[in-house]
């Protein structure tokens, strides 16, 4: 009797172990959180992941920006309306593509507003500031930081790049042109380059909008979105250079639609785990059930490099990524 009981117990133990081994690991799932959100800016502040997206709706309804935070990439908390047009008096609609940096304990949120079409309209790229990544953010300048078209670039889709030498750059531009400019120390304006110019064009082949830059192993990776934002061909491509000023020669696409999962995968940002060669790409895409251009959701995937440092094509999934807590 004892022998039979032992066999049954051992069998039960093996069965439980096998079940545990085959059990699906928790994952973030895609989309990361409910609602129509696009152009996500990923960041890490105080051992928390943060995402600042565009509220994806008709322009006249885009009068605020929400934020989302997570301790593990799985569970996300919504921080509604961290900034809105009530706080930014010159902005009236089309709050787009937030970019955020922390400097000396303050959080600077850069955004596009009003979708200006020429130099006579009021709007462009603004800056809001707060003492917490959750806001509330208030108008930092009382006016746009960039309110004109330079080198043909519409003043939208701003990204702030912090170089290893301490210099902060504003990289931005729609209408198939991209500029880079050196921000001054307090983000109230710009410092001219050595040749006296303020806005240098660094537009690579097929660039449309949504610039992003990071450094890995001494190489500058410049990324952008291609195609039309309402179409299935929206995608992300990249280039590499030895300087944030380029020259940047297009290498190829690394993020695009999978017709079995979603279309219009683009306008991304990158999250790197501090101290590790561990990278995530945060982006938006359009569910297969949706035709409306504004029906976009925020998703996340792993991003990998090959032995030569080139970015491997990103596989878009429904599962997303596994949990990872910051130390």
Provide the H-helix boundaries in the chain.
2-22
At residue 20, φ and ψ (nearest 5 deg) are -65, -40
d(CA 57, CA 76): 21
At residue 9, φ and ψ (nearest 5 deg) are -65, -45
At residue 39, φ and ψ (nearest 5 deg) are 50, 45
Q: Are 108 and 129 in contact (CB under 8 A)?
A: yes
Active site residues: 39, 209
Residue of 137, 127, 123, 125 whose CA lies nearest to 186: 127
Tokens, residue 33? 């959180």
DSSP code, position 73:
S
Question: Who's near 113: CB < 8 A, 6+ residues apart?
Answer: 85, 88, 90, 91, 92, 93, 94, 95, 96, 123, 124, 125, 126, 144
In order of 46, 72, 185, 235, 317, the CA distances from 206 in angstroms are: 37, 36, 33, 11, 26
Residue of 236, 96, 110, 88 whose CA lies nearest to 170: 110
Q: Are 235 and 256 in contact (CB under 8 A)?
A: yes
Residue of 236, 225, 204 whose CA lies nearest to 312: 236
């Amino acid at each position: 009797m004892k022998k039979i009981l032992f066999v049954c117990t051992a069998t039960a133990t093996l069965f439980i172990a096998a079940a545990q081994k085959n059990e699906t690991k928790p994952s973030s799932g895609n989309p990361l959180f409910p609602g129509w959100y696009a152009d996500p800016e990923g960041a890490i502040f105080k051992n928390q992941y943060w995402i600042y997206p565009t509220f994806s709706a008709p322009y006249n309804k885009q009068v605020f920006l929400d934020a989302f935070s997570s301790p593990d990439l799985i569970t996300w908390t919504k921080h509604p309306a961290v900034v809105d047009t009530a706080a930014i008096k010159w902005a009236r609609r089309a709050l787009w593509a937030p970019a955020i940096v922390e400097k000396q304990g303050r959080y600077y949120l850069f955004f596009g507003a009003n979708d200006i079409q020429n130099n006579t309209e009021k709007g462009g790229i603004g800056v809001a500031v707060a003492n917490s990544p959750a806001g509330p953010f208030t108008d930092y300048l009382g006016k746009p930081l960039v309110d004109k078209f330079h080198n043909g670039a519409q003043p939208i889709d701003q990204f702030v790049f912090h170089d290893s030498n301490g210099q902060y750059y504003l990289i931005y531009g729609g209408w198939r042109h991209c500029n880079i400019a050196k921000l001054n120390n307090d983000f109230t304006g710009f410092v001219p380059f050595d040749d006296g110019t303020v806005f240098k064009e660094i537009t690579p082949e097929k660039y449309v909008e949504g610039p992003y830059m990071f450094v890995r192993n001494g190489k500058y990776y410049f990324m952008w979105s291609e195609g039309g934002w309402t179409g299935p061909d929206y995608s992300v491509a990249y280039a590499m250079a030895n300087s944030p000023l380029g020259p940047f020669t297009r290498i190829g696409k690394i993020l695009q639609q999978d017709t079995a999962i979603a279309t219009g995968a683009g306008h991304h940002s990158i999250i790197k785990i501090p101290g590790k060669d561990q990278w995530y790409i945060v982006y938006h895409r359009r569910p297969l059930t949706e035709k409306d251009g504004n029906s976009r959701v925020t998703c996340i995937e792993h991003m990998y490099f090959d032995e030569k440092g080139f970015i491997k094509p990103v596989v878009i999934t429904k599962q997303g990524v596994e949990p990872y807590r910051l130390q």
